[in-house]
Amino acid sequence: MQLDRDAIRLLYTLQSYSIPNGASTPQCWLKLDLLHAIAHLGITSGVFETYDLAPALLPFRGIKMYAMISQEVVEEVGHFFDENLVEKLLLNSWFYATVTAIRITSTGLRLLDETLTDEDRDAVDNLVRCPKCNSVLDFAVATERKPEVRLVMNRVCSCLTRGRHRRDDDWLAKCPPGVCPIEGFFSIGEVQYKSKPFFFGNTP
């Protein structure tokens, strides 16, 4: 099976969250909406070079909000599932909303063993791991009220927040020290595509 570099890096991202430190088999699940946040950060930082961002209505913890996400990532996850590289789980939350979670499979692990390079590993690790403790970063939503009320997706690590960043299932009362905001996630940004004009009619 042939995967391009961005697909390999996305699959390794799922591996990073599927296997906790010290384990050898997939044991944890990553919520799909948080994968969108990771992909957004990876696209804006250049880790994923062929994916684009576009505004979409994203169900997040039972509330639909506009977010800049990658449709290529949505299609890639579907392809991974069809090829048995990942498995999905539908979760019920305490606020009566469903959340899709995914994790890598043993087939996906074998594929990464054959295709993952040190360059790809380092690029993803710099994206999803804490530079202080090397644990995978968590993602949570904060409400900022200055200068205006807005939602911000943040990268957080328990070693920086002393484990106190969780509140009401991923919602932060405020940005604690050490939080790294992902600007532009909950927004409708400008989208630029390279395309050729199409005109109806008999054209040569």
pLDDT, tens digit (0-9, with 9 covering 90-100), for 62-72: 678 889 999 99
Structural domain contains residue 101: yes
Please give the pLDDT value at position 80: 97
Beta bridge partners of 68: 55
Does residue 175 have a pLDDT over 70? no
Structural domain contains residue 37: yes
- Six-digit token pair at 6? 């961005």
Please give the pLDDT value at position 152: 80
Higher model confidence: residue 161 or residue 8? 8
Specify the number of domains making up the chain.
1
Q: Over the stretch 23-68, which tens digit does the pLDDT of each residue have?
A: 788 989 998 888 999 999 999 999 999 999 999 988 776 678 889 9
Does residue 150 have a pLDDT over 90? no
Q: Give the mean pLDDT of 67-83.
A: 95
Mean of all residue pLDDT scores within the chain: 82
Under the banding of pLDDT at 50, 70 and 90, the label for residue 159 is confident
Q: Do 64 and 57 contact (CB within 8 A), yes or no?
A: yes
Structural domain contains residue 204: no
Does residue 104 have a pLDDT over 60? yes
Please give the pLDDT value at position 169: 45
Does residue 139 have a pLDDT over 60? yes
Structural domain contains residue 85: yes
Structural domain contains residue 79: yes
166 is in which domain, residue-wise? 5-182
Structural domain contains residue 45: yes
Q: Give the mean pLDDT of 77-95.
A: 89
Q: Per DSSP, which regions of the chain are E strands?
A: 30-31, 54-60, 63-69, 86-92, 98-104, 138-144, 150-156, 171-172, 180-182
Whole-structure pTM value = 0.83
Structural domain contains residue 194: no
Calpha distance 103→31 (Å, rounded): 9
Query: Which amino acid belongs to residue 159?
Result: C
Q: Give the mean pLDDT of 148-162.
A: 74
Higher model confidence: residue 119 or residue 154? 119
Structural domain contains residue 20: yes
Under the banding of pLDDT at 50, 70 and 90, the label for residue 202 is low
The three-class DSSP label of residue 103 is strand
Q: Do 170 and 140 contact (CB within 8 A), yes or no?
A: yes
